[in-house]
Amino acid sequence: MNKAQFTSTPTGSNKLEICLITCVPYVAMVGYAAVRHHTQLDTWTHGLRVSLDFSALILPFVYACLSNAESLGSMHAAMIIPAVIYWLSAHGEIQISSWQRGGARLPALTQLRGIIMLQTVFCILAVDFAAFPRRFAKTRDFGTSVMDLGVGAVILSGAFPRRLRALREAPPATFVQSQTAYRVLRVVRHHLPLVSLGVCRILLVRSLEYHEAVDEYGVHWNFFFTLALVSTASVLLTPSSPRESAAASAITMILHQAMLSCGLTEWVLTAPRVNLISANKEGLASLPGFVALALMGDAVGGILQDAVSSRGLFQLVSLDFVLWVSAMAAEILVERPSRRLCNAAFVLWTSAQVVMTLSICYASSLMFPLPSPPLLKAFNKHLLDGFLFANLLTGLVNMLLPTTAASYAFGVTVLLLYMGAVCAFVASGFPSQIRQQLKRLARM
């Protein structure tokens, strides 16, 4: 079995197991918030607080991914029940957070984006070790897995704060009559680094002869190109209201699924790679689906515009119920989810799962109105920096160690050291220092 086959799975895992696995750090965060609320942990030094964040949020997720799935239910109960009992005894009724529209970023959003990136960072190296169950790796054609969810979750969660930014930012007066031109220039400038990273990744992979799964995005395509184009398209297409964004997402998803059902699926899965387009058919054919995901994220972001309230939580839970029902209907009536195609079932399943975890973060903000843990704040602030550093370490580990042949104990040890290194890099403030140095060099 070659490396590309080792790091993928034919069928993936079932949705319940994926749900239980991915929800572990979110449920742990609720229990951790109860401990922080009851004690004086937030007065400790930054280093100690980051270490506590690592122990409380990352270690449970690592354990859940690498241990027996039968213990997941009891693990969730052990984390959430004491927190709920403490909250009921200490408060009696929900206390509303002081976050208001136009103020500091909603803690729930910071927590969600930080945890998604932590999960992504862990999985991109963990999949190279035998200790990581194969059913959690990316699926080849159809199916669902933990890593499949991560791809969609990054794009969806990245769109959540877009509407919040729009409320605080207005175009300069010189562009009042040309807002479209302003948006185009701003978006293109903002996403040029992603395109540059995509090109650099191609050059590095080819020069180092690093293993690459061609059927994931294509011969020359990669996730950086998808992220850049989807972000650009969704920003330019974003309607003026959340309802219009939801409608645009639904229309894009339906039209894309119609194309897939009318022959695009067969072309992606079976057509030979004879030219530049067919060589990158997976990346190109999945773009409309990922745009639909991003537009869905913008629509969900509309719920986060106002102050945190029980009404907002009810809206999120209601939306999540509709998404789960729609996802099941799409899978039964149309086709199974496919990350490779980003079809309707995948878009709806990803949206349902991410909105569910957002609801947990939102509920935590209601129950325990505390600032986000510093580790999650750091990852939310340096998403791309942390992801790049993790990719560099992943490549280095794979070049130096025989990861596929490593024992369980050795694999777990390497993964814990790797996560510690990534978290230390992000939480230390090095990304900000590096950016400042680069700006100084650019001015010289």
Mean pLDDT for the stretch of residues 17-40: 90
Q: Do you know the residue count of the chain? A: 444
H/E stretch holding 35 reads: helix 15-38
Return the number of other C-beta atoms located less than 10 Å from residue 287's C-beta.
Answer: 17
Of 31, 68, 65, which is closest to residue 360 (Cα–Cα)? 31
DSSP per-residue codes, 59-71: HHHHHHHHS-GGG
Mean pLDDT of the chain: 85
Tokens found for residue 80: 């959430």
Pair 20, 68: CB distance under 8 Å:
no
pLDDT digits (tens, 9 = 90+) for 350-389: 999 999 999 999 998 888 888 889 999 999 998 888 999 9
Return the number of other C-beta atoms located less than 10 Å from residue 374's C-beta.
Answer: 17
Mean pLDDT for the stretch of residues 300-319: 85
pLDDT digits (tens, 9 = 90+) for 397-425: 998 999 888 999 999 999 999 999 999 99
Based on its alpha-carbon atoms, the radius of gyration of the chain, rounded to whole angstroms, reads 21
pTM: predicted TM-score of the whole model, two decimal places? 0.89
**What crossing angle do the helices spanning 146-159 and 107-126 adopt, rounded to 10°?**
150
Q: Which residues contact 73 (CB under 8 A, 6 or more apart)?
A: 20
Q: Where are the alpha helices (DSSP H) in 93-178?
A: 107-126, 146-159, 162-168
In whole angstroms, give the CA distance from residue 118 to residue 432. Answer: 19
In whole angstroms, give the CA distance from residue 16 to residue 153. Answer: 17
Of 49, 230, 44, 213, which is closest to residue 124 (Cα–Cα)? 213
pLDDT digits (tens, 9 = 90+) for 34-92: 888 888 777 788 889 999 999 999 999 999 999 876 778 888 888 888 888 888 777 54
Pair 359, 313: CB distance under 8 Å:
yes
Identify the sign of the CA torsion 102, 104, 105, 106.
Answer: negative
Residue written as token pair 């309607």: 239
> pLDDT at residue 98 above 60?
no
Pair 128, 405: CB distance under 8 Å:
no
Q: Would you place residue 28 in the very low, low, confident or very high pLDDT band (cuts 50, 70, 90)?
A: very high
